[in-house]
Amino acid sequence: MNPSTDFVPFALPSLGREEEDAVLAVLRSGWLTTGSVALEFEREFASFVGAEHALAVNSATSGLHLALEALGVGPGDVVVTSPYTFASTAAVARHLGAEVAFCDVVPGGYNMDPGRLETVLKTTRNVKAVLPVHVGGLPCSMDEILALARRYGCAVVEDAAHAFPSRLPGGFAGTLGDIGVYSFYATKTITTGDGGMVVTADSRLAKRMSTMRMHGIDRPVWDRYTSKTGSWSYSVVEAGYKYNLPDLLAALGREQLKKADRFLEERRRVAGIYGEVFRSLDFVDPPPDGPGHAWHLYSLRLRPDSLRIGRDEFVDLLREAGVGTSVHFIPLHTMPYWAERYDLTPDSFPEALASFLRTISLPIWQGMGEDRARRVARIVAETGAPRSV
């Protein structure tokens, strides 16, 4: 690829010979579904993030559903999350018959605002769980969120879909609440195509999620096929789901996990190059930064007052100039389902709306290289620069 002329996509997975060999080995092993490879992946992931239990699942969406189910969330309960997230963070509460209360994000940022959370918890009855989202890989203010959740007697499920690996002094984002859920979707920093991991320190929650992940059966399928005794016997103890991660995909995950620290380092370098350029421009602000940032996303913030064009035109011009972008996120409270259900308007959560209207996610991926990063930064600078007349 020639970095000076090629289109720079918004995201690209980093897959090498190691992943190809690992998948081939599974294909040739005769065991494709969840088995020893998924078990190894769980052990290695748990050890990486320092979690007591890790359960591989077929998506973070499934993991979030399992997490809320294990906590006993059901009809009459409320789950508090931020509108600045992807569809599934809030939808899983509705799958269980619970309601959602949204909490706005910090001014000038993307993560749940602890000050506003306190107001929501004070004024909302029957809150069973708080579900903060570490948007883009920047950890939420977990100390404050955890303290509030404890004070109001609710559980904390971290949506860590973007937050791998986000190392904080007190542990990895995703291991700080009662349950944490990571995503390995195709655009995530480490990927299995589709997949996820649920972590918890609580053995009872882990047992419940493990059973519900596999049809409510009390015994893993791997165990049934490999055990010397009673191989055919099992009991259905609940009406469970089918949320397991097959070995075929877990094989990818194991190889990606080995590269996670290098991936993070490369993403940090891209963010560093962007930051150097963007700090000197008067029409953009670099994204909020802080300890443990995993740089899953690089969210550039346009300053509408200093720009001659709007965000959407900016996106179009970047694409024409060879830069792929995305927008994270269109806030959920502006989506028809949530707006109608809770009678919300775009202004109901002004900080989430303001962030959405001025944000563009720029390309950031390992393997992108410094030349491409500099080229993207230059194109952004030229696209936003005032035209001479």
Ligand X SMILES: Cc1ncc(COP(=O)(O)O)c(C=O)c1O
Measured from the CB atom, the residue of 158 and 383 that comes closer to ligand X is 158
| Among the residue ranges 12-20, 84-92, 300-308, 335-343, the one whose residues contact ligand X (CB under 6 A) | 84-92
Structural element, H or E, at residue 261: helix 260-278
Check residue 326 and report its DSSP letter. B
Burial class (CB in 10 A: 0-12, 13-18, 19+), 240: buried
Q: How many residues does the chain have?
A: 389
161 touches ligand X by CB under 6 A: yes
Measured from the CB atom, the residue of 156 and 273 that comes closer to ligand X is 156
List the catalytic residue out of 122, 128, 188, 242.
Answer: 188
Q: Which two tokens stand for residue 337?
A: 């389902």
Interacting residue with ligand X among 82, 166, 183, 334 (CB under 6 A)? 183
Within positions 234 to 273, which residues make up the interface with ligand X, using CB under 6 A?
Answer: none
185 touches ligand X by CB under 6 A: yes
Report the alpha-carbon distance of residue 373 to residue 210 in Å, rounded.
42
Interacting residue with ligand X among 86, 102, 110, 243 (CB under 6 A)? 86
133 touches ligand X by CB under 6 A: yes
Measured from the CB atom, the residue of 287 and 384 that comes closer to ligand X is 287
Min. distance of Cβ 62 from ligand X in angstroms?
Answer: 7
| Among the residue ranges 11-19, 80-88, 146-154, 259-267, the one whose residues contact ligand X (CB under 6 A) | 80-88
Q: Phi/psi at 299 (nearest 5 deg)?
A: -100, 100
E strands, the chain, in order: 53-57, 78-81, 99-102, 127-131, 155-159, 167-168, 171-172, 179-183, 196-200, 284-285, 298-302, 359-362
Measured from the CB atom, the residue of 88 and 366 that comes closer to ligand X is 88
159 touches ligand X by CB under 6 A: yes
Sign for the CA dihedral angle at 219, 220, 221, 225 comes to negative
**Residue entry with tokens 């320190």:** 201
Measured from the CB atom, the residue of 180 and 384 that comes closer to ligand X is 180
Within positions 196 to 215, which residues make up the interface with ligand X, using CB under 6 A?
Answer: 196
Min. distance of Cβ 110 from ligand X in angstroms?
Answer: 10
Within positions 59 to 78, which residues make up the interface with ligand X, using CB under 6 A?
Answer: 59-61
111 touches ligand X by CB under 6 A: no
In angstroms, the first-to-last Cα distance of the chain is: 36
Measured from the CB atom, the residue of 93 and 307 that comes closer to ligand X is 93
89 touches ligand X by CB under 6 A: yes
Interacting residue with ligand X among 88, 210, 244, 366 (CB under 6 A)? 88
How far CA 310 is from CA of 185, 301, 307, 359, 383, in Å, comes to 30, 12, 7, 11, 11
Distance of CA 349 to the CA centre of its chain: 21
Do you find a cis peptide bond into 329, omega within 30 degrees of 0? Answer: yes
| Among the residue ranges 55-63, 100-108, 115-123, 202-210, the one whose residues contact ligand X (CB under 6 A) | 55-63
Tell me if residue 259 is catalytic: no
Footprint of ligand X (CB under 6 A): 59-61, 85-86, 88-89, 133, 159, 161-162, 183, 185, 196
- Residues with a catalytic annotation lie at 188
